[in-house]
Each structure stands twice: as C-alpha cells, then as structure tokens.
C-alpha cells in the first residue's frame, strides 16, 4: 500500500531515510491487522494473554517501570516565537529542537518495522473531524490506535481527498528517560515523540494531536479543542441535554461520562459521547456543537469496580488491553479497589505481589477499550453533526474552598471561572502528585499555545451568540476536618447534574453570591444519602476570607501572562473582589 498524496508519500520516505527501519507497513486498520499485532506481541512477550474464559480477547502489557505516565517536564511546544507557547508550556527553539530530535531519531528504527497509521479524529464523514498520520515503530501503539481512533484505509481516503493532515513521528527509542522528548511544532502541524511507549506520549492522536496541535488549529479556525467528557442526559419525559465537563486527568471524567443514576432518578438515561476530549464548533443556530474525536477509552484502572463505574467495569470484560495491572493466580487482571474478592499474585512489574513493596496495579495503570464496549455508548458519538451542548462544567480536585457546584453569571465570568480552576495533581503525570496547581479548563498540560491567547479565544465566543451553553464549576472532592470526603460522588453526582439541568431549563432559582450563583440548599436532593443538611450547607457556602485569598492568588496567576492577559478577565476578577469586600465589611 502507498498513497496518492505526494506530501504524505514524501514525508514517509524522509522519515524512513532518517530512522532507517528494516521495512515499512501501511496500516489498513482491519481486525486482521490488529490480530497480527497482538500475535506478534504475544510472541515477543510485549503482551501477555489474560484468562480467556473470564476475559476473552484481553491482554496485559507491562511497560518499562520508568515509563508509566505523561512526562510534562519533557513535553515541549516549539513555536517559532517563545511568547506564542506562553509560560504554561515548556518551549524550545524549533531549530534547536529539530537538531536534537534528528540526532535521536537517526537510525532509531534499525531492526524494527515502521508502521504508517493514517487516522481520522472524529467521525470519518464529519466536517468537524481532522486527519492525522502517525508513524511509529511500536506494534503496541498500532493496536492501541486501532482502539482509540478511526484508523486505516477510510482515514487515508479522507486524507487523499482533503490533502491536510497532522504529522506525528513516534519511536520508543531505547526508553531511556534521558532521551525522552515529546515535541510539538504547531506551525508545521508536526509532532515528534521519542523514548516513551506510554499512551499520552505515544498514541499521538490523543493528547498531542487532539489537544495540543488541535487547540492551536482551533484558534486559527475559530473553534475549541478541549479536555472534556461529553455526556447525554435524557429525562423521563424524553428531553435530552448534552453537557461537557472539563476535569484534570484522573479526576473522574470516565466515571462521570458513564454514570448510573441513583434510584430516585429512575427513568433518566445517561449516555456517553466521549470521556476525555471534546471539539466544539459554533454553528449557524448559535449553539456550540461537540464531537468526540476519539473512538475508545484510555482510562485509569484502579478504583474501577461494580459500584464506582459498573459500565466501565463491564467494558473491561472483553477485548481490552490492560497496561500495568496486577494479575491473579488464574490470570485475571487485578487492581486496587477492584472489590471482587480476588487476590493478586503478581504486581504490575511482574514480581510476586507484596503489599509492603507497593500496589498490585500502578496508580496510573490504564485500560484501552473500544467505546462500543460501553453499555451506555451514545450512537450520537458517530453523528457527523455532533451534539449541541447545553452546559459546560469546569472542575478540579480541591479539599477546600470550591463549593460542590456553582454557576457563572455570564460567559465572560464563566471564562474566568474556567481560567482560574485549580486542582491537586494526580498520578497521570510524573511528579507533583497531591500539589495544588492552576489547571485552567483542565488544559494546563494540553494547551498548545499561550494561555492568555487561549482565554482571549474563549472570550471571542461571548459576543457571537446568545445561545451559548451556561458555564458551571463543580468540586466532588471537598474534605472535612478528619480528611473524609464530604460528598459521595460517583452515581450520586447525578443529583448535582439535575440541578445544572434545572438551571439550564430555567426550572429553579439560585442564590447570587460574589463567586456566582449557588443552589439553595434544598434544591439539591439528598434523599437516601448519608449526607446531613449541615454538610450540604458547608458544601454550598462561600468562605469570604478564603475566597479573598483565592482572588489574590488568581490575580497573581493572571499576571504571569503579562500584557497578553485579557483585560476582561481582570475586570471580572475585580467585580468578584469588590463583591467579596462588601460581604466582608
Ligand atoms: C489522559 C490524561 O490519559 O489526561 O486522559 O492523562
Ligand atoms: Mn485526559
């Protein structure tokens, strides 16, 4: 196989000349090809077969122990102008970066096969989708890309018709962390990644293309590429609203996207359009329409059980790739809080399991599974038009301060709410777990350009339409004085979503506070929950002194972006500051 697209043919040739593979394979995306990759990896020991009876067609991959998460410190945006990457990104001069990478890529595929994977992010027939081609020397990447994106012949046909595509070159290199780089050249729509096989660093359609490069593309083309789940909420009356939620990595997007409503919401139907990435376009009808560019889930395994996420748990029963899970004596995958009464015998490194040494599954162990495995998969995920979004919900993981839920006063205020999100870091990236950091719109690791310009881009939508989604903020992670979570989370989050929908449809009033509209305490249904009214009052209160400190911290954060910070955000912050001031007085 080859291609009629000259630019693609030439780039593949040039890449092969540099990396010197033994042979080149163009991926057609077929099931046979997937099976061939699996067989090869079983042979080489890259994959291990799991219990065929309990987990048909499931495999375990154990990564190099140094290669288990995204590496933000080794991830660069190499725009021509450093200011365009902004203080939110590591930057390297593109000439210097190219020189460094050319040396590392030189001959790196000797003795290996080079795979060329044409892919399409989004439904093949959607004008909102975008094309890419990943070149890789990893069969693990080919197999995972097959699950995560629409790859192969249909994507290549689309590329040949449209001409444009994002280029991504990936090599696992020798997995030496000293020679690991994930580099983005947005002006060239180019990604070069070496030294890691981990999903976020190696499946280039995902974070590198669909977020970092796409966010840049989206700005120039007038749309938004966001780190958001997309879910459908259908009421018993048959009215469906779609909401998009931006939470940082490993903060429960997959769980929320597949939520099973508690008993008193019988008759409600939740469906998943996407669990991680959302591309938003403003249409002639004045609404923001969303597609999920992916076709699979690359989810965090630990904590997934029948109660926390039954739908994900079901997804994992067949046709899944597990990366860095533990294993039971009868060769079933195992992880912390699986709660199935089984015991692991082997840990994620392949050593005999010893709780004194560490967990059985790595805290950032992952599953890769087709979205079609999800019992509540929304067929709208394949609709070329996407879905209209009624509400966008920002959030983070914060022990204190941020209430359970609040609504922004308008679009401009909502952009400030998104821009000032902060969250405790998780195991999804190497370093810093537990530390609170600003994570605007959950895009800190993923925005491919200067955050100040990104905020300004968000603000441009405000004047364009009066039918934009309402903007909200949630925090499922508040803790009490004993460190215990105050809100049960998981399926019970439906109670908060119900309030959000009531606000969208104008069915319920709210209290105006300096930080936004908060629910009246009785408007969040807590029937059947072990949560007291006092706890709800605490979850739905605004601590004026703490918020005054927060406003100061947000102001300092916005100043980090210098003159590029939109004045509108500063004005919005000043309004909050003076409202807090009058409360304090
Ligand atoms: C992910 C992440 O894998 O955000 O989705 O790290
Ligand atoms: Mn993510």
**Residues 494 and 265: beta-carbon distance below 8 Å:** yes
pLDDT above 90 (res 302): yes
Closest atom of ligand 1 to 445 CA is: 4
Q: What is the pLDDT of residue 431?
A: 87
Which of 108, 120, 251, 278 is flagged as catalytic?
251
Exposure string of 218-234, with b = 16+ CB inside 10 Å and e = fewer, is bbeeebbbbbbbbbbbb
Lowest mean pLDDT, pick from 239-243, 423-427, 505-509: 423-427
My answer on whether 539 and 429 are in the same domain is yes
Which residues neighbour 309 within 8 Å (Cβ) at sequence distance 6 or greater? 254, 255, 258, 490
Spatial separation of the C-alpha atoms in residues 506 and 538, rounded to whole Å: 25
Based on the domain organization, do 523 and 572 belong to the same domain?
yes
| 251 counts as catalytic | yes
Ligand 2: distance of its center to the CA of 583 in Å?
38
Q: Which has the closest alpha carbon to 2: 160, 209, 162?
A: 160
The answer to whether residue 136 is domain-embedded is yes
Tell me the per-residue pLDDT of 237-291, one tens digit each, with 9 for 90 and over. Answer: 999 999 999 999 999 999 999 999 999 999 999 999 999 999 999 999 999 999 9
For the CA of 227, the closest atom of ligand 1 is 4
| pLDDT tens per residue, range 48-66 | 999 999 999 999 999 999 9
Residue having the nearest C-alpha atom to atom 2 of ligand 1: 249
pLDDT at site 560:
97
Q: Is 495 in the pocket of ligand 1 (CB under 6 A)?
A: no
- Cβ neighbors of 114 (< 8 A, separation 6 or more) are 15, 16, 19, 21, 23, 24, 25, 135, 136, 137
Task: Produce one character per residue of 31-69: b if its CB has 16 or more CB atoms within 10 Å, e if not.
Answer: eebbeebbebbeeeebbbebeeeebeebbbbbbbeebbb
**Same domain assignment for residues 89 and 10:** yes
Whether residue 270 sits in one domain with residue 205: no
For the stretch 171-208, pLDDT in tens is 999 999 999 999 999 999 999 999 999 999 999 999 99
522 Cα–ligand 2 center, Å: 34
Q: In terms of DSSP H, where are the helices of 343-465?
A: 411-419, 451-460
Percent of the chain residues topping a pLDDT of 90: 97
Token pair 């920002």 in the structure block, residue: 394
What token pair was written down for 276?
């991680």
Report the nearest-CA residue for atom 1 of ligand 1.
249
For range 466-481, the mean pLDDT: 97
CATH number, domain of 150, equals 3.40.449.10
Q: What is the CATH number of the domain that holds 508?
A: 3.90.228.20
**The token pair that represents 316 in the structure block:** 């994992």
* Ligand 1 pocket check for 249: Cβ under 6 Å: yes
Q: How far apart are CA 154 and CA 125, in angstroms?
A: 10
pLDDT band at residue 365 under the 50/70/90 scheme: very high
413 lines ligand 1 (CB under 6 A): no
- Ligand 1 atom with the smallest distance to the CA of 366 is 3
404 and 258 housed in the same domain: yes
Q: Which of 189, 222, 255 is the last residue of a domain?
A: 222
Ligand 1, atom 3, lies closest to the CA of 200
446 lines ligand 1 (CB under 6 A): no
CB of 200 sitting under 6 A from ligand 1? yes
CB atoms within 10 A of CB 314: 15
Which of 187, 222, 257 is where one domain is finished? 222
Q: Which of 105-109, 300-304, 372-376, 433-437 has the lowest mean pLDDT?
A: 433-437
Q: Residue with structure tokens 């537990």?
A: 434
Is 302 inside a domain boundary? no
Mutate to test the pocket of ligand 1, among 202, 428, 444 (most ligand atoms within 8 A of CB): 428
Residue 1 has pLDDT above 80, yes or no: no
| Same domain, yes or no: 510 and 550 | yes
Judge whether residue 236 has pLDDT over 80.
yes
Q: Which residues pair with 116 in a beta bridge?
A: 26, 135
* Residue 167 DSSP SS3: strand
Write out pLDDT tens, residues 63-80. Answer: 999 999 999 999 999 999
- Average pLDDT on 527-550 reads 97
Rounded mean pLDDT of 144-152? 98
Residue 326 domain flag: no
Q: How distant, in Å, are the alpha carbons of 12, 28, 117, 317 from that of 2?
A: 10, 11, 11, 37
| pLDDT at residue 2, rounded to an integer | 84
Strand partners, 437: 423
d(CA 174, CA 158): 34
| Structural contact between residues 154 and 29, judged by C-beta atoms closer than 8 angstroms | yes
Q: What is the pLDDT of residue 432?
A: 84
CA atoms within 13 A on the CB side of 521: 12
Q: Could you tell me if 218 and 165 lie in one domain?
A: yes
Tell me whether residue 356 is in a domain: no
Ligand 1 pocket mutation pick from 207, 296, 433 by most atoms within 8 angstroms of CB: 207
Distance (angstroms) between ligand 1 centre and the Cα of 92 equals 23
215 and 244 assigned to the same domain? no
Domain membership of residue 243 (yes or no) is yes
Q: Are residues 277 and 139 in the same domain?
A: no
How much is the pTM? 0.97
Q: 213 and 232: one domain?
A: no
Asked if residue 512 is part of any domain, the answer here is yes
Q: What is the mean pLDDT of residues 80-88?
A: 98
- pLDDT over 80 (residue 318): yes
- By residue range, what is the domain housing residue 111? 6-46+70-222
**162, pLDDT greater than 70:** yes
Predicted confidence at residue 433, as pLDDT, reads: 87
> For the chain, what is the domain count?
2
One domain for residues 201 and 237 = no
How far apart (Å, rounded) are the C-alpha atoms in residues 540 and 543? 10
Q: Is the same domain home to 133 and 215?
A: yes
Does 520 map to a domain?
A: yes
Confidence of residue 585 (pLDDT cuts 50, 70, 90): confident
The reply to whether ligand 1 has any atom less than 6 angstroms from the CB of 276 is yes
* DSSP state for residue 212 in the 8-state scheme: I
- For residue 357, tell me if it sits in a domain: no
Instruction: Examine the fold and report which residue of 198, 222, 246 is the final residue of a domain before the chain moves on.
Output: 222
């Amino acid at each position: 196989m080859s291609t009629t697209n000259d630019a693609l043919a030439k780039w593949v040739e040039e890449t092969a000349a540099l990396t010197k593979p033994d042979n080149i394979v163009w991926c057609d995306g077929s099931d046979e090809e997937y099976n061939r990759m699996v067989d090869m990896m079983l042979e080489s020991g890259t994959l291990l077969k799991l219990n065929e009876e309990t987990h048909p067609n499931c495999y375990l991959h154990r990564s190099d122990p140094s290669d288990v998460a995204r590496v933000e410190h080794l991830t660069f945006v190499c725009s021509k102008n450093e200011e365009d990457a902004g203080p939110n990104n590591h930057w390297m001069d593109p000439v210097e970066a190219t020189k460094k990478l050319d040396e590392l890529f030189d001959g790196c595929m000797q003795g290996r096969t080079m795979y060329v994977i044409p892919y399409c992010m989004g439904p093949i027939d959607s004008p909102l989708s975008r094309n890419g081609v990943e070149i890789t020397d990893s069969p693990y990447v080919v197999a995972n890309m097959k699950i995560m994106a629409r790859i192969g012949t249909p994507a290549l046909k689309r590329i040949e018709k449209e001409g444009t595509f994002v280029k991504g070159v990936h090599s696992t290199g020798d997995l030496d962390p000293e020679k690991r780089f994930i580099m983005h050249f947005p002006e060239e729509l180019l990604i070069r990644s070496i030294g890691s096989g981990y999903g976020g660093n190696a499946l280039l359609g995902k974070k590198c293309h669909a977020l970092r490069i796409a966010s840049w593309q989206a700005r120039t083309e007038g749309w938004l590429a966001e780190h958001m789940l997309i879910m459908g909420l259908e009421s018993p009356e048959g009215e469906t609203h779609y909401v998009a939620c931006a939470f940082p990595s490993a903060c429960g997007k997959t769980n929320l996207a597949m939520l099973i409503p508690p008993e008193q919401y019988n008759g409600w139907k939740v469906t998943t359009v996407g669990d991680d990435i959302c591309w938003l376009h403003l249409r002639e009808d004045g609404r923001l329409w969303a597609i999920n560019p992916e076709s699979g889930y690359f989810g965090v395994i630990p904590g997934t059980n029948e109660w926390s996420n039954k739908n994900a748990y079901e997804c994992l029963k067949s046709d899944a790739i597990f990366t860095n899970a533990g294993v039971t004596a009868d060769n079933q995958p195992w992880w912390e809080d699986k709660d199935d009464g089984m015991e692991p015998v082997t840990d994620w490194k392949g050593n005999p399991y010893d709780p004194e040494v560490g967990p059985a599954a790595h805290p950032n162990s992952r599953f890769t599974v087709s979205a079609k495995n999800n019992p509540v998969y929304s067929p709208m995920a394949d609709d070329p038009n996407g879905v209209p979004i009624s509400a966008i919900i920002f959030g983070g993981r914060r022990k204190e301060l941020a209430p359970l839920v609040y609504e922004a006063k308008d679009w401009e205020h909502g952009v400030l709410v998104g821009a000032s999100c902060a969250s405790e870091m998780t195991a999804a990236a190497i370093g810093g777990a537990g530390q609170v950091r600003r994570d605007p719109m959950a895009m800190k690791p993923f925005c491919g350009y200067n955050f100040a310009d990104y905020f300004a881009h968000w603000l441009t939508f405000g004047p364009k339409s009066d039918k934009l989604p309402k903007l909200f903020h949630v925090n499922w992670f508040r803790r009490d004085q004993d460190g215990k979570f105050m809100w049960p989370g998981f399926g019970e989050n439906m109670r908060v979503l119900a309030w959000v929908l009531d606000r969208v449809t104008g069915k319920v009033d709210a209290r105006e506070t300096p930080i936004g509209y908060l629910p009246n305490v009785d408007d969040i249904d807590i029937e059947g929950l072990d949560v007291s009214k006092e706890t709800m009052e605490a979850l739905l209160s605004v601590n004026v002194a703490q918020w005054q400190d927060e406003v100061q911290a947000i102001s300092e954060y916005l100043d980090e972006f210098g003159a590029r910070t939109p004045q509108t955000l500063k004005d919005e912050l000043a309004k909050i500051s003076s409202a807090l001031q009058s409360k304090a007085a």
